[in-house]
């Protein structure tokens, strides 16, 4: 069993009370001011959350944030907000066949509510509990419908279509895993029963094989641990074609939020492997081999992050961004969110830090040296994020973590000065993952049950 926390006492100096105070203020501001009939809040412009995106992939982060706030503080108004908004506004996301983001939207809401019940943090009737269980079953099955078969397995394809594998989806697979663990089976044509855990494992294997590089000469830009945002396949025969990027600079550089998704998803998966019944996926791969493959990918990506990120742990938006050279010896300096050349992405740091802690915790018995290294990295990033200039202390600003970037190539991010790159704004995913990071740390410090999405499964 890996789900036992390893606590670095130095992190106890972190002012989590201050973090949660500002977090609660932001949640209430958004609830009072944002009109969800216009869509989901995505990122801020001039300190106010606006809706702008390809899909409604961030709404679960909005309502899930209130549930994390309740978990951390016990303030029941946030439980009420999260519960009622989930009930009245999240149902369309359960049967949304057009996205790969079910693990974001629905595990953050229905999943968190079910987890809180199972952990004994809230009281609920049997029927309310079954309602959340059914929601997760449906959500995971719908996500697994987005399936492309390839010669060595298959993957859950992105909203771009059957040719497209996104590295992000490594973390949204948790909806598919939970659906299986709750006893659900996806039925296809002629009542064919589709094993959801096997689909999730196939997707994980496709991601670590194609989306992560290992310095083995795959192409001229094959650096150990780098990731590609998107992988393109020929849908006629399922063969790999090339790396690509939607939100990064190129398919041959590393978009750092994609790298962060890989780190977080790998850490979250490694630490639950002991809780997944091997017999249910043995036809795909053995547990021993799966563990080796995922560990190799995890170590490669965390080392790449450390090697290509400034010394404070906050990355620039892409490791190949064209104007990084104008920042001089930027890797040996703290990141500068106010520079005139390339933006940082604090949301990537929020996501990656959680992954560092989970991977570090998972390695605590097998490799204590690396374990401590990655735990220290995760805590350091948290310390930087949870204070200014990243923590938003302005009561008029609706964002919690500043200097997040959404889509640099499309120019969607707001810049307060014409001569500078975007800075000073927040994103719903960055804020949510900062809250998850803070909750993971807080529960470890306080000796509570280790925070994991799999806690929604009774065992």
Token pair 């995890």 in the structure block, residue: 298
* CB-CB neighbours of 450 under 10 Å: 18
Nearest to 178, CA basis, from 263, 106, 250: 106
Task: State the pTM of this model.
Answer: 0.96
What are the φ/ψ torsions at residue 341 (nearest 5 degrees)?
-115, -50
Contact between 427 and 42 (Cβ < 8 Å): yes
**CB burial readout 223-260, b (16+ within 10 A) else e:** bebbbbbbbbbebeebebeebbbbbbbbbbbbbbbbbb
| Helix intervals (H) in 74-173 | 76-89, 91-94, 102-105, 112-118, 126-145, 169-172
What is the SS3 assignment for 106?
A: coil
Give me the pLDDT at residue 294, please. 98
Mean pLDDT by 10 residues, the chain (459 residues): 47 86 98 91 96 86 98 98 97 95 97 98 97 98 97 96 97 97 96 97 98 96 97 96 96 98 98 97 98 98 98 98 97 97 98 98 97 97 97 97 96 89 97 98 96 96
* CB-CB neighbours of 415 under 10 Å: 14
Query: What is the rounded CA–CA span in Å between residue 292 and residue 353?
Result: 22
What is the SS3 assignment for 70?
A: helix
CATH architecture label of 9-456: Alpha/alpha barrel (1.50)
Half-sphere exposure (Cβ direction) of 20: Cα atoms closer than 13 Å:
21
């Amino acid at each position: 069993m890996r789900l036992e926390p390893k606590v670095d006492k130095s992190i106890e100096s972190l002012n989590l009370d201050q973090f949660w105070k500002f977090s609660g203020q932001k949640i209430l501001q958004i609830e009072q001011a944002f009109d969800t009939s216009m869509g989901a809040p995505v990122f801020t412009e001039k300190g106010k959350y606006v809706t702008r995106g390809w899909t409604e992939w961030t709404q679960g982060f909005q309502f899930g944030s209130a549930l994390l706030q309740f978990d951390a503080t016990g303030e029941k108004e946030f439980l009420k907000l999260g519960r009622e908004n989930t009930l009245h506004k999240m149902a369309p996301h359960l049967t949304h066949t057009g996205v790969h983001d079910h693990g974001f939207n629905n595990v953050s809401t229905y999943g968190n509510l079910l987890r809180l019940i199972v952990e004994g943090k809230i009281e609920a009737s049997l029927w309310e509990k079954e309602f959340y269980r059914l929601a997760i079953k449906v959500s995971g099955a719908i996500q697994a419908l987005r399936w492309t078969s390839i010669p060595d397995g298959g993957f859950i394809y992105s909203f771009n279509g059957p040719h497209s594998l996104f590295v992000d989806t490594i973390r949204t697979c948790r909806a598919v895993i939970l659906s299986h663990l709750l006893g659900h089976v996806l039925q296809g044509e002629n009542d064919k029963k589709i094993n959801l855990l096997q689909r999730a494992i196939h997707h994980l294997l496709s991601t670590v094989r194609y989306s992560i590089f290992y310095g083995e000469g795959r192409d001229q830009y094959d650096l150990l641990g780098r990731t590609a945002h998107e992988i393109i396949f020929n849908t006629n025969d399922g063969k790999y074609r090339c790396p690509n990027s939607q939100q990064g600079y190129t398919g041959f550089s590393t978009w750092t939020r994609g790298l962060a998704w890989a780190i977080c998803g790998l850490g979250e998966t490694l630490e639950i492997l002991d809780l997944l019944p091997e017999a249910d996926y043995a036809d795909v791969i053995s547990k021993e081999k799966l563990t080796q493959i995922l560990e190799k990918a995890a170590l490669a990506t965390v080392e790449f992050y450390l090697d290509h990120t400034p010394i404070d742990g906050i990355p620039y938006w892409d490791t190949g961004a064209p104007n990084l050279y104008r920042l001089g010896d930027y890797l040996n300096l703290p990141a500068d969110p106010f520079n005139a050349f390339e933006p940082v992405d604090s949301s990537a740091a929020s996501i990656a830090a959680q992954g560092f802690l989970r991977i570090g915790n998972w390695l605590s018995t097998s490799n204590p040296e690396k374990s401590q290294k990655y735990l220290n990295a995760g805590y350091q990033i948290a310390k930087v994020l949870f204070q200014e200039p990243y923590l938003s202390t302005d009561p008029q600003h609706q964002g919690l973590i500043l200097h997040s970037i959404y889509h640099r190539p499309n120019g969607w991010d707001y810049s307060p000065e014409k001569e500078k790159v975007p800075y000073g704004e927040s994103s719903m995913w960055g804020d949510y993952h900062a809250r998850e990071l803070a909750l993971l740390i807080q529960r470890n410090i306080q000796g509570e049950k280790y925070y994991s999405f799999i806690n929604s499964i009774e065992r």
